[in-house]
Structure 1
């Protein structure tokens, strides 16, 4: 799927950087770039826009004021917002206008990509702007000094340690190692396909081989369902059996 985006920032260097980030991300489509929130509002009123990368401190109309104007519409076609700002004091206000994320300048492409993937999951979940095909269901994982594209259907399970995770993939003898947390992985992976069943494990429901009373066989290993996650897992079993 392609998410139609605009970038709004009155700082030329920031406007250029974020626009370049959008253009190098294959599920984003740059439809416009503006150094004025008023100009951006005029564009939004006459064009289809799904996502705005929005600075806050701008003359005439601030990014937060633009966000409030859009939030008051409460319509199906209202664009979602990812704030890009040098000021962290606006984070709470950002959540009040239902912003998807809040990127604090200076931010890296990896941070930008993580926020963008959050937007992708939002639109896929809500069937906006179009239904995603299975071929596009993927995430990017940081492995050593590069970002690796991983298809969701190939992930068997994710095994969490203190400061990193192991991602077990079908057809691969060795797991991918990534310096991130299991909580971050849980936020990246769609709930419809993945489930956390233990403080140290997230499983891909499509790769379950068999289920016993309190254990799940994933092919590569057996995993015990811990008490804190058992209720959610039992609801899944009921649907599976029925």
Structure 2
């Protein structure tokens, strides 16, 4: 699935960086770029647009004003917005117009990818029949940057994640070697749903679905035993108490 998107920013350097991020993301298709919201609005009126990466502070017509115009005139009920701005005071306003996400400048590709993945999950969900069960509605995958490509990783296949200084190792079911991704363990913690994953150590996040046995201080994941560090012991013991009933 390709998401048709446009980029809107009155700062040429910021616009070029945004376009570069879009072009290196396999599931995004850059249809057009604009340095002002008026030209962007004209394009949206004539063409199908799934996603707008939209700067907020622009002359003549601001990004927030464009969002309100789209919302009130219903040019496309399926068009979603990810705001980009240097000012965090617009976050609340952004959510009032149902923005999908909010990128605070200067943002990294990792942050951009996280917001874009949220968009991918939104549009993929809309493309299929609406599920009926809570389990089916929940997030089922994430995208990780591995070398020079984006890899779709199913959450059910993740056993545990091992964090290093500049990268993580994602240990997967049926794979003899872990997946190496240039991201932080903190970012992985944000990406993984807390109802299925738990951080138990400064260097480890585990899948609750793949726990085979536990003690008060360790977790056994197949042939791997992981210690629970003191900083995470209280949360872990709360889980243990629930697990043993």
TM over 0.5: yes
The answer to whether the aligner puts 1:227 opposite 2:234 as a matched pair is yes
CA distance 1:126–1:179, change in 2 (3 Å): closer
Distance across 1 between alignment mates of 2:165 and 2:13: 37
Distance across 1 between alignment mates of 2:19 and 2:182: 27
3-state secondary structure, aligned to 2:127: coil
Deviations 1:145-164 (A, max 9, x none): x5564442453211346776
3-state secondary structure, aligned to 2:4: strand
Instruction: Report the aligned-residue RMSD.
Output: 4.0
Structure 1 unaligned residues grouped into runs of 5+: none
Contact 2:94/2:102 (8 A) holds in 1:
no
Contact 2:21/2:112 (8 A) holds in 1:
no
Q: Report how far residue 36 of structure 1 moved.
A: 2.0
CA distance 1:73–1:204, change in 2 (3 Å): farther
Partner of 1:9: 9
Structure 2 unaligned residues grouped into runs of 5+: 129-139
Distance across 2 between alignment mates of 1:229 and 1:44: 49
Contact 1:21/1:112 (8 A) holds in 2:
yes
CA distance 1:47–1:220, change in 2 (3 Å): farther
Q: What is the TM-score normalised by the length of structure 2?
A: 0.67
Distance across 2 between alignment mates of 1:197 and 1:35: 42
Question: How many residues are treated as equivalent by the alignment?
Answer: 222
Deviations 1:8-64 (A, max 9, x none): 123445434422331221111223322220222233345443321122332210223
The answer to whether the aligner puts 1:114 opposite 2:117 as a matched pair is no
Q: What is the TM-score normalised by the length of structure 1?
A: 0.67
Partner of 1:22: 22
3-state secondary structure, aligned to 2:18: helix
Distance across 2 between alignment mates of 1:169 and 1:199: 19
Q: Report how far residue 7 of structure 1 moved.
A: 0.6
CA distance 1:28–1:95, change in 2 (3 Å): farther
